[in-house]
Structure 1
Amino acid sequence: MRRGRWSLKSVIIVFVCVVVTFSLLITDLLISSRIASETEKNQAEQARSVARMVAHSPLVIEAMSGKRDEKDIQSYANEMRKVTNVYFIVVMDMNAIRKSHPDSNKIGLPFRGGDEGPVLKGREHASISKGSLGPSLRSFTPIKDEKGKQIGAVAVGISLDNVEKAVKKSRTGIYIGTLIGLLIGVLGAVILARYIKKILLGLEPFAIAKLLEERSAMLQSVREGIVAVDQESKITLVNRAALKMFHKAGLPDNPLGVNIERYLSTTRLKDLLQTGKAELDEEQNLNGMTILTNRVPVIVGNKVVGAIATFRDKTEIQVLAEELTGVRTYADALRAQAHEYMNKLHVILGMVHTGYYEKVVEYINETVNHRNNEIGFVTKKIKDPVLAGFLIGKLSYARESGTELSVLCEQPIPQPEDSDITHELITILGNLIDNAIMAVSGCPLKKVTVSLDYADDILTIEVKDTGKGMSEEIQNQIFNKGFSTKGENRGLGLYLVSQAVKKLDGDLILSSKPEKGTVFAVYIPYDGEGD
Structure 2
Amino acid sequence: MILTLGFVSAVQTILIGVFAGYYLSDSLFDEIGQRALMVSKTVAAAPSVIEGVRQRDIEGLNRLASRLTRTNEALFIVIGDHQGMRLAHPSADRIGHSMADDDGDQGRRALVEGKAYVARAAGSLGESMRGKAPVIEPETGEIIGIVSVGYGVDQVDATIKRYSFVLYTVVGLTLLVSILIAMVIASRFKRAIFGLEPEEIARLFQERDATLQSVREGIIAVNRDGVITTFNRTALETLGIDPDTPLSGRPILDVLPESDLLSVLESGTPDFDREVWLRNRQMIVNRLPVRQGAEITGVVASFRLKDEVDQVSRQLTRIQQYADTLRSQTHEYSNKLHTIAGLIQIEAYDDALNLIGSEVSDHQALIHLLLEAVPDPVIAGCLMGKYNRAREMGLGLQIDAESRMVDIPADMPRDQLVSVLGNLIDNALEATRHQTGEGGRVQLSMTDLGHELIFEVEDQGPGIPEDSQQKIFEKGVTTKQGAEEHGYGLHLVRQFLNRWGGSIMVENLPGVGSRFTLYLPKTSQGSDRH
Pairwise same-fold verdict (TM > 0.5): yes
Moved more, 168-177 or 493-502: 168-177
From 159, 183, 190, the equivalent of 2:183 is 190
Equivalent residue number for residue 4 of structure 1: none
Instruction: Specify the alignment match of 1:6 in structure 2.
Output: none
Q: Distance in 2 between matches of 1:382 and 1:272?
A: 50
Select 2:500's aligned residue among 500, 504, 508. 504
Pairing 1:82–2:75 present: no
1:522 to 509, 518, 522: 518
| Counterparts of 2:441 and 2:48, CA distance in 1 | 138
The aligned runs of 1:315-394 (5 Å cut-off) are 318=311, 328-394=320-386
1:299 aligns with 2:290: yes
186, 192, 201: which one pairs with 2:194?
Answer: 201
Deviation at 1:390, TM superposition (A): 0.5
1:204 to partner: Cα distance:
1.8
Q: Identify the residue that residue 120 of structure 1 maps to in structure 2.
A: 111
Deviation at 1:321, TM superposition (A): 6.9
d(CA) in 2 for partners of 1:378 and 1:39?
115
Amino acid at match of 2:107: G
Per-residue deviation at 1:57? 1.5
Residues 327, 95 of structure 1: CA spacing in aligned structure 2 closer, same or farther, 3 A cutoff?
A: closer
Query: Does residue 214 of structure 2 align to residue 214 of structure 1?
Result: no
- Judged with a 3 Å threshold, the aligned counterparts in structure 2 of structure 1 residues 152 and 336 are, in CA distance, closer, same or farther, namely same
Q: Deviations over 1:193-245 (max 9, x none)?
A: 234334433322222222233334344445x2534243466655555556666
Q: Is the 8 A contact 1:236 1:256 kept in 2?
A: no
Number of the residue aligned with 1:459: 453
- Verify the 8 A CA contact 2:80 2:88 in the aligned structure 1: yes
**Which structure 2 segments of 5+ residues have no match?**
525-530
**Cα distance, 1:415 vs structure 2:** 4.1
Query: Hey, what's the Cα distance between the residues in 2 that align with 1:264 and 1:450?
Result: 48
Corresponding pairs, count: 507
In 2, distance between residues paired with 1:474 and 1:187? 73
Percent identity among equivalent residues?
28
Cα distance 1:467–1:186, how it changes in 2: closer, same or farther (>3 A)?
farther
Alignment CA distance shift 1:524-1:63 (3 Å): same
What secondary structure sits across from 1:113 in the alignment? helix
SS in 2 for 1:390: helix
Distance 1:413 1:285, change over 3 A: farther
Matches within 5 A, 1:427-446: 427-445=419-437
Aligned match of 2:158 = 165
**Could you tell me which amino acid in structure 2 is paired with residue 85 of structure 1?**
E
The more displaced of 210-219 and 474-483 is 474-483
How far is the alpha carbon of 1:273 from its aligned partner?
5.4
Q: In the alignment, is the contact (CA less than 8 A) between 2:36 and 2:151 conserved in 1?
A: yes
Question: For residues 322 and 427 of structure 1, do their structure 2 counterparts lie closer, same or farther at Cα, with a shift above 3 Å needed?
Answer: closer
Q: Which residue of 2 aligns with 1:156?
A: 149
Shift of 1:163: 1.2
Distance 1:303 1:420 in 2: 46
Aligned residue in 1 for 2:6: 17
- Correspondence 1:11-160 to 2 at 5 A: 12-66=1-55, 71-102=59-90, 105=92, 108-110=95-97, 111=99, 113-115=102-104, 117-118=107-108, 119-121=110-112, 122-147=114-139, 148-160=141-153
Structure 1 stretch 39-48 or stretch 148-157: which is displaced more? 148-157
**Cα distance 1:427–1:233, how it changes in 2: closer, same or farther (>3 A)?**
farther
Q: Distance in 1 between matches of 2:508 and 2:167?
A: 93
> In structure 2, what is the Cα distance between the partners aligned to 1:277 and 1:28?
57
Q: Of 412, 419, 423, which residue of structure 1 is paired with 2:415? A: 423
Given the superposition, is the C-alpha separation of residues 524 and 184 from structure 1 closer, same or farther in structure 2, using an over 3 Å criterion?
farther
Question: What is the root-mean-square deviation in Å for CA atoms of aligned residues?
Answer: 3.9
Q: Distance in 2 between matches of 1:390 and 1:129?
A: 118
C-alpha separation between the residues in 2 aligned to 1:97 and 1:418? Answer: 129
1:161 deviation in Å? 0.9
Distance change in 2, residues 1:489/1:358 (3 Å): closer
**SS of residue matched to 2:118:** strand
- C-alpha contact 1:98 1:106 (8 A) present in aligned 2: no
| Residues in 1 aligned to 2:471 and 2:59: alpha-carbon distance in whole angstroms | 123
Higher mean alpha-carbon deviation, 439-448 vs 82-91, is at: 439-448
Q: 1:183 to 1:355 in 2, by over 3 A?
A: same
Equivalent-residue separation in structure 1 for 2:88 and 2:469 (angstroms): 123
TM-score by length of 2: 0.80
Task: Write the distance in 2 (CA, Å) between the matches of 1:474 and 1:291.
Answer: 27
Q: Is this contact kept in 2: 1:140–1:154, CA < 8 A?
A: yes
Q: Secondary structure at the match of 2:391?
A: helix
TM-score by length of 1: 0.80
1:481 equivalent to 2:489? Answer no
Find the partner of 2:491 among 488, 495, 499.
495
